[in-house]
Amino acid sequence: MDGAAPDGREMQVLDLWERAVGLDHWRRDEALLAVGQEPPRGLGARNAALLAIRNALFDRAWPLQSRCPACATQCEFQIDSQALAEELNSFEVAESATFEWAGLPDTARPPTADDLRAVSLQADTGSAARVLLQRCLSGDFSLAQADDAAVEELGRRLELLDPGAAVGFALRCPACDHQWSAMVDVGEALWSELQRAAERSLVEIDTLARAYGWTEQDVMRLSPTRRAAYLQLVEGS
């Protein structure tokens, strides 16, 4: 089959999917971010880089989901992915900040992906938060016995150093009217969208290859309208 060049975005989706499929969360993000560059270590920079990948492949309207913590209803919402990327890129990241805590001077740095991976095997979120803070603080005091309020306050101070490290949205549940802040793992959300798109392409390529004897490249050269028409013919035969 002769014709136009294969669809570039579809090829990128399949290439990225092949690069990252079967990897755990940490190695998968690294694989996605490693295309043509050294993956950034800062959390805000990683979120911005993952969004850049997402915006190059998909429409700016990004459908997302979050489960209501009060009634467990699965809530769907949509954000402007390009506007979010612009917001993240506008944030300034501080390399460190010095402050006084418990009567002692301390210097804090923003957490990195390496820090999160190092604490991911902790038994619970409370222990993980303490170990994470300890890695990012240079003071001589231990957080093992710190109360929850102190840990939360120190966590807020670290968040201010890298505002793009955590991505969240204020939601209201349509079922019970509960309001909460839904945190989004940008890498996980991108992978879910990427995997769905890749699997859809593979199914369509397989269907038309079996029906017409075309190659993968042949199918990807078809315009979306012509591909949909051929798929309808196959389904109707």
pLDDT tens string 159-203: 999 999 999 999 999 999 999 999 999 999 999 999 999 999 999
- Per residue in 191-214, pLDDT (tens digit) is 999 999 999 999 999 999 999 999
Phi, psi of 172 (to 5 degrees): -130, 125
Q: Are residues 112 and 83 in the same domain?
A: no
Q: Are residues 152 and 193 in the same domain?
A: no
Q: Are residues 123 and 140 in the same domain?
A: yes
- 171 inside domain: no
Q: Are residues 155 and 229 in the same domain?
A: no
Is the per-residue pLDDT at 113 higher than 90?
Answer: yes
Q: Are residues 214 and 148 in the same domain?
A: no
Mean pLDDT of 209-226: 94
Q: Are residues 82 and 24 in the same domain?
A: yes
Instruction: Give the pLDDT band (50/70/90) at residue 4.
Output: low
- 181 inside domain: no
Q: Are residues 39 and 86 in the same domain?
A: yes
pLDDT score recorded for residue 202: 97
Q: Are residues 150 and 191 in the same domain?
A: no
- 121-to-22, 125, 128, 134 alpha-carbon distances in Å: 20, 10, 8, 15
- 1 inside domain: no
- Per residue in 31-58, pLDDT (tens digit) is 999 987 899 999 999 999 999 999 999 9
Mean pLDDT rounded to a whole number for the chain: 91
pLDDT score recorded for residue 3: 53
Q: Are residues 191 and 86 in the same domain?
A: yes
Q: Are residues 86 and 48 in the same domain?
A: yes
Q: Considering 124, 145, 161, which residue would you say is the last residue of a domain? A: 161
Q: Considering 161, 177, 202, which residue would you say is the last residue of a domain? A: 161
Tokens of 30: 């690294």
- 155 inside domain: yes
- 167 inside domain: no
Is the per-residue pLDDT at 234 higher than 80?
Answer: yes
- 192 inside domain: yes
Number of domains the chain is built from: 2
pLDDT score recorded for residue 5: 59
Given a contact cutoff of 8 angstroms between Cβ atoms, the answer to whether 225 and 8 are in contact is no
**DSSP tag of 172:** E
Given a contact cutoff of 8 angstroms between Cβ atoms, the answer to whether 172 and 164 are in contact is no
- Domain hosting 211: range is 8-66+78-90+187-236
> Helix axis angle, 8-20 relative to 43-57, nearest 10°?
140
pLDDT score recorded for residue 237: 78
Q: Are residues 18 and 83 in the same domain?
A: yes
- Per residue in 48-105, pLDDT (tens digit) is 999 999 999 999 999 999 999 999 999 999 999 999 999 999 999 999 998 877 777 8
Instruction: Give the pLDDT band (50/70/90) at residue 1.
Output: low
Is the per-residue pLDDT at 121 higher than 70?
Answer: yes
Q: Are residues 56 and 105 in the same domain?
A: no
Say if pTM beats, i.e. exceeds, 0.85.
Answer: yes
